[in-house]
Amino acid sequence: MSRREGGPVVQRLSTLDRFLPVWIGLAMVGGLLLGRLVPGIDDALSAVEVDGISLPIAVGLLVMMYPVLAKVRYDRLDTVTADRRMLGASLVLNWVVGPALMFTLAWLLLPDLPEYRTGLVIVGLARCIAMVIIWNDLACGDREAAAVLVALNSVFQVVAFAGLGWFYLEALPSWLGLPGAALDVSAWQIATSVLVFLGIPLLLGWLSRTYGERARGREWYESVFLPRVGPWALIGLLFTIVVLFALQGEQVTSNPVDVVRIALPLLAYFALMWGGGFLLGRALGMTYERTTTLAFTAAGNNFELAIAVAIATFGVTSGQALAGVVGPLIEVPVLVALVYVSLALRDRFPHPAPDPTFEESSR
From first to last of its 363 residues, the chain has per-residue pLDDT tens of: 444 443 455 555 555 666 677 887 888 888 888 877 777 776 676 666 665 566 787 788 788 888 888 888 888 888 888 889 999 999 999 999 999 999 999 999 998 888 899 999 999 998 887 778 888 988 989 989 988 898 888 888 888 888 888 899 888 988 988 887 777 666 676 777 777 777 888 889 899 989 999 999 989 998 899 888 888 888 888 888 888 777 767 767 777 888 889 999 999 999 999 999 999 999 999 999 999 999 999 998 887 778 777 777 777 667 887 888 788 778 888 988 899 899 999 888 876 544 433 334 334
- Residue 351 is predicted with a pLDDT of 61
CA distance 191 to 155: 9
> Do the Cβ atoms of 310 and 320 come closer than 8 Å?
yes
pLDDT of residue 18: 63
- For residue 11, tell me if it sits in a domain: no
Alpha-carbon torsion 94, 194, 48, 20, what sign?
A: positive
Query: For the chain, what is the radius of gyration of the CA atoms?
Result: 20
Nearest Cα to Cα of residue 35 among 333, 325, 331, 335: 325
The structure's pTM equals 0.79
- Give the closest residue to 146 by CA, choosing from 280, 292, 361: 292
Number of H helices, E strands in the chain: 20, 2
Residue numbers of the domain that contains 154: 19-344
| pLDDT for res 68 | 80
319-345 and 20-37 helices cross at what angle (nearest 10)? 170
CA distances from 47 to 41, 44, 208 (A): 10, 5, 32
Q: Does residue 361 fall inside a structural domain?
A: no
Q: Are 321 and 116 in contact (CB under 8 A)?
A: no
Residue 91's pLDDT is what? Answer: 93
| 351 found inside a domain | no
Residue 255 lies in a domain: yes
Q: Is residue 143 part of a domain?
A: yes
CA-nearest of 106, 108, 258 to 169 is 106
Is 303 within a domain? yes
Q: Which of 184, 307, 294, 152 is nearest to 244 (CA)?
A: 307
- Give the torsion sign (CA, 204, 209, 213, 218): positive
CA atoms within 13 A on the CB side of 98: 33
Alpha-carbon span 163 to 144, nearest angstrom: 29
The reported pLDDT for the residue numbered 81 is: 85
Find out whether 98 and 265 touch, Cβ atoms under 8 Å: no
| 358 in a structural domain | no
pLDDT (0 to 100) of residue 225: 92
Residue 8 forms part of a structural domain: no
Q: What is the pLDDT of residue 276?
A: 96
What's the domain count of the chain?
1
CA angle 257, 261, 264 (to 5 degrees): 135
| CATH number of domain containing 105 | 1.20.1530.20
Report the pLDDT value the prediction gives residue 85, as an integer from 0 to 100. 92
285-322: b or e for each residue (b if 16 or more CB lie within 10 Å)? Answer: ebbbbbbbbbbbbbbbbbbbbbbbbbbbbbeeebbbbb
